[in-house]
Structure 1
Amino acid sequence: MAQYFDVGHSLVVPWARRPEAAALVADLAYPRRSFDAVTIGSSERAFYGSQFAVMAPLFEHFGVGLWVPERGGVVDR
């Protein structure tokens, strides 16, 4: 398990410019990462505008499940 939580960064800032979100994206490509799924605690705090549409394919490409409990659990594209 790993935690990535950006404090003090606006959600309008792209993931690549948020330190923890950028670290998560980098870790997606790492074959020995310590996780195989990501739970988004609040989609309205994680994604802004089209960010979800940009990020979701990365999770899928690297075989990492994406869970959003407020939307019923697993995101199935």
Structure 2
Amino acid sequence: MSATGKVYADKISAQIAGLRFTNRGSISRPNLYMLKYTNAVAILIEPFFCDAKTDCNKYSATKLANAIVKGFTGIVIFNN
């Protein structure tokens, strides 16, 4: 994971944790195909476990999308 990728991943993890999901932080997985064969800054976002009922009960597509955007840009897109 590049230093820039780690910064983005940590910011996004913190925003998602603000929605009461567990903050698992950033984990380097350099052997994943998408990450291994790109020169661009790239991260994979896995916000929650869909087989965990407690996580599914917290799910809101709008809130989750906003948390990801805010982690990347610092800007809130949806205010609800």
Question: TM-score higher than 0.5 here?
Answer: no
Q: Which has the larger radius of gyration?
A: 2
Select the structure that is richer in strand: 1
Q: Normalising by structure 2, report the TM-score.
A: 0.27
Structure showing the higher helix proportion among its residues? 2
Which of the pair has the greater relative contact order for Cα pairs under 8 Å at 6+ separation? Answer: 2
- TM-score normalised to structure 1 length: 0.27
